[in-house]
Amino acid sequence: MSKTKSNVNSDIAFAYLPTATKDRKMTFFDLLLVQTVIGLSAFGLLTGAYAGNMLETKDSMVAVIFGNAFPMFLIAPVAIYFAKYGVDTFVGFRSALGYNGGVAFFVLFYLLSLGYSAVALFMAGEAMATASSLLSLPISLTGTTGTSIFAIMLFFIALFIVFRGPGAIRIFNLVAVPAFFLFLIGLIVAIMFSDHIPALSKLSPVGAFENHQRSFMTALEINIALGFSWLPYLGQYSRLAKSTKAAYSASFYSYGVIVVVAAIAGALAALVSGSLYPGDWMNAVMGSKFAIVGLLLLTVANLGATLFLMYSFAISFKTMFSKSSWILAVSMMLPTVFLLLSSSFYDAFNIFMSVISFSMASLGGILIADYFFIKRQNISMRDLYNTKGAYRYWFGFNPSALVALLVAYFFYWGIYNPVTLEAHSLFLKISAGVPTFFLSCIVYIICAKFVFRFEVDRVATSDQTFKQYVIQHQSDEIHN
């Protein structure tokens, strides 16, 4: 067996099986660093840029800070679940969604992985196309055409590295991680220690709606979406934490606080340059002298983020479909190429994030309700892995979760349509993503407690009672 295959198989087994106590070696600072790496990438920059494109400096700061921090405050307790039991995201969600519901959530994660990878790669391709323009390279390597060419080329480089396994990824990230930190520090320094700060108070956003409240709530919603979008990733590293406290704190501070730094930098850069695109920021903020260096750092950093996204998905795919090959798992990311052929998807990033906001806010509310208020932090490990066990519910789906998702869907899309940008007056007062979280949480609790009342939801009053139920359930299955 090759070293690459051995490393990949080791990661797959480690991802699928519950993490033993002796293997939970990540401290608060370990988790903070790892989770910050993916957070401080294209997504933080771009969501912040949308705020800067719609709002003046003060309001954009409010939208960025609250929009990222509050959703993470709401879903960060999920990390406690994964840290306590040491299970992966798509195994852990079975207790709330059912076995088939967990598969459906994985499909949503697949779409998220495709979208996020496309955003990171297109931003990297745009950076290279802008650098080509500054270097007076052939026109075919500049503009939208050059962006797509570079983005697709970078995709296949990422595909090759991911296929090589974790060893190749770790080597590349030794360059990618410092590259993004250098880029971010350079961008912040260029804004803070120049004549841009006095000018910011006088600059007007170029993409604002006529109604200021509409601009604010739309920008806020995009940032709220980024906060909720980290939900699938909370289980991937929290399960390795030495303590539940470390897992919770690191999740909140990495995705809910430090990511704000990148988003603020994006908002300020968008205000200064009058553009959503990082490729346009360099000359406006850093000047042509340092622009090419900044663009190259941004390219390497986003390629590193893509490796993380693609490898995380491939590992999850293999754990969900264990008989599939590693080549197939990695190749599942090939549809990303279609999103790189033009700027259409990249330009619709705000719509994509709003859809993610609805989905992840609803699922976050459901899992928080299930684990803390219904199961009361008592989960059967055996039934998480036995797909004919207690979390089978109805045909593998938990009807309480389905009803909560349906109600949340009609509420969210009833007050805000991110595709047409139609907004109800209620949206202008309370936004959509955060109330969707609370609504799905409340509806789930009502359904689980008073409507469907599955046995597995009624016995979780103490560890001992739950253990007795599991033993009885297993005995019944043996006799049947």
Q: What is the pLDDT of residues 202-241, one digit of tens each?
A: 677 888 888 899 999 999 999 999 999 999 988 877 888 8
Residue 250 belongs to some domain of the structure: yes
Average pLDDT of the chain to the nearest whole number = 85
Q: The domain spanning residue 244 has which CATH number? A: 1.10.4160.10
Q: What is the tally of structural domains in the chain?
A: 1
Top pLDDT among 439 and 138 is at 439
* 437, part of any domain: no
Cβ atoms of residues 260 and 69 within 8 Å:
yes
Is the Cα torsion angle 356, 357, 359, 364 positive or negative in sign? positive
| 468 belongs to a structural domain | no
Q: What does pTM read for this prediction?
A: 0.87
Res. 459 pLDDT band, cuts 50 70 90: low
Q: Is residue 459 part of a domain?
A: no
- Torsion of Cα atoms, 99 then 100 then 102 then 103, to 10°: 130
CA dist 360 → 90, 106, 436, 437 (Å) = 14, 12, 10, 8
Q: Domain of 244?
A: 3-348
Instruction: Enter the DSSP assignment of 475.
Output: H
| Phi, psi for 416 (deg, rounded to 5) | -155, 125
146 lies in some domain: yes
Instruction: Give pLDDT tens digits for 290-327.
Output: 788 888 888 888 888 888 889 888 888 887 887 888 89
In a domain, 435, yes or no: no
- Using CA atoms, how far apart are residues 193 and 216, in angstroms rounded to an integer? 28
CB-facing half-sphere around the CA of 401: CA atoms within 13 A: 34
Whether 461 is covered by a domain: the verdict is: no
Q: Look at residue 368 and tell me if it is in a domain.
A: no
